[in-house]
Structure 1
Amino acid sequence: MAAPLILVDKANAPLGTVSWEEAHAFPEGKLHRAFSIYVFRENGTELLIQKRSDRKLFAGLWANSCCSHPREGEEDILAVAKRRLQEELGFTCPLTVHSTFTYQAQDPSGKGAENEHVTIFRGDLDHNVTVMPNPDEVAQWKWMNVTELMTDMDENADLYAPWFHIGMRKVGFQMLTS
């Protein structure tokens, strides 16, 4: 059984712990701590992953490079983010905190819901890395130009995870305007 997740209030202050199943219960779940990593290369591309079709929630959708939750007792969310990036994609890179957001979304299949306070980490690569995705987590991966990605997300919204839409508006838009 997985370690409990961290329940939080809207300001991300811890309130206790909860099982993964209870945190993601349909229809609204319980607000808990999470993180999302967005990895970019100098050429303006972002590393995307497609979630496996047998995942519990939002299966088969495209999303940002890596997402997960710190577990009970894991206070250093940056260390957890680096560890999960290594576990899911086989590499790590320098990460910086970009921003945070809170969101709630129901899985389209009705299997559960997300209700998360998300810390966004941004990773910027100035060199090529070997991506070695964990087949238990990732069905496919690709590098995609940020401008093309944002257009595709507008035109084909249902292909992308709901948190990715929110986070990409924060991270990707800033990248396009800087």
Structure 2
Amino acid sequence: MEERVILVDENDNQLGVMPKMEAHEKAVLHRAFSVFIFNDKGQLMLQQRAACKYHSPLLWTNTCCSHQREGESNIEAGRRRLQEEMGFTTELKEVFSFIYKAPFDNGLTEHELDHVLIGSFNGNPNLNADEVEDYKWMTLQEVKADMDKNPSIYTAWFKIIFDKSFDKLTHA
């Protein structure tokens, strides 16, 4: 069964559902989430997207991200996807949301109302090879410096979150 996304207006009111690929082909605004996991040293767990992903393969990004399912809260969706991609769960809290639009070279466009969730974890993930190529821990300052130097190795949404909301992540 094809995954469906929740279509929303700018105020996050649900308007309907649509197959995920169709929403990305038509650049329709839909609900999404991005999870940021920090350890006790204040480092962020980054993931490198799997080579087989249909967009942004092998790029570095936040710990995990995806789309909520109908009837699923932002926190429930974040915990589900964290388990599916990274092989662990932890408590999450929502810190902010924002809207972005990012076209990709393959003709698809992400147009999302993205809910940013944070949590903490100190162990090693159990990576799902269908989703994740690799992971690493970096401080936010290290990420920002590397992103300035090597912007092409990071996902569009991750760069947008850093550009618009770096202060919200550092004070979360």
**Residue aligning to 1:18:** 18
Opposite residue 106 of structure 1, the aligned amino acid is P
State the SS of the aligned residue for 2:21. Answer: helix
**Residue aligning to 2:71:** 74
Opposite residue 65 of structure 1, the aligned amino acid is T
Is the CA contact (8 Å cut-off) linking 1:49 and 1:66 kept in structure 2?
Answer: yes
State the SS of the aligned residue for 1:21. Answer: helix
- Whole-angstrom distance in 1 between the partners of 2:7 and 2:27: 11
Is the CA contact (8 Å cut-off) linking 2:52 and 2:130 kept in structure 1?
Answer: no
Query: Unaligned 5+ residue runs, structure 2?
Result: none
1:75–1:151 distance in 2 versus 1, CA, 3 Å: same
Task: Kindly state the Cα deviation for residue 147 of structure 1 after the two structures are TM-superposed.
Answer: 1.1
**Residue aligning to 1:90:** 87
1:81–1:70 distance in 2 versus 1, CA, 3 Å: same
Q: Does 1:105 align with 2:102?
A: yes
TM-score normalized by the length of structure 1: 0.89
**Residue aligning to 1:9:** 9
Is the CA contact (8 Å cut-off) linking 1:57 and 1:113 kept in structure 2?
Answer: no
Runs of 4+ in 1 over 4 A off after TM superposition: 169-172, 175-178
TM-score normalized by the length of structure 2: 0.92
- Whole-angstrom distance in 1 between the partners of 2:170 and 2:73: 30
**Residue aligning to 1:150:** 144
Task: Kindly state the Cα deviation for residue 172 of structure 1 after the two structures are TM-superposed.
Answer: 4.3
Q: Number of residue pairs matched?
A: 172
**Residue aligning to 1:65:** 63
CA RMSD of aligned residues (A): 1.7
- Whole-angstrom distance in 1 between the partners of 2:43 and 2:94: 19
Q: Does 1:161 align with 2:159?
A: no
Is the CA contact (8 Å cut-off) linking 1:32 and 1:115 kept in structure 2?
Answer: yes
- Whole-angstrom distance in 2 between the partners of 1:34 and 1:167: 13
1:75-94 CA distances to partner (integer Å, 9 max, x unpaired)?
32211111110111011111
- Whole-angstrom distance in 2 between the partners of 1:112 and 1:175: 28
Is the CA contact (8 Å cut-off) linking 1:34 and 1:67 kept in structure 2?
Answer: yes
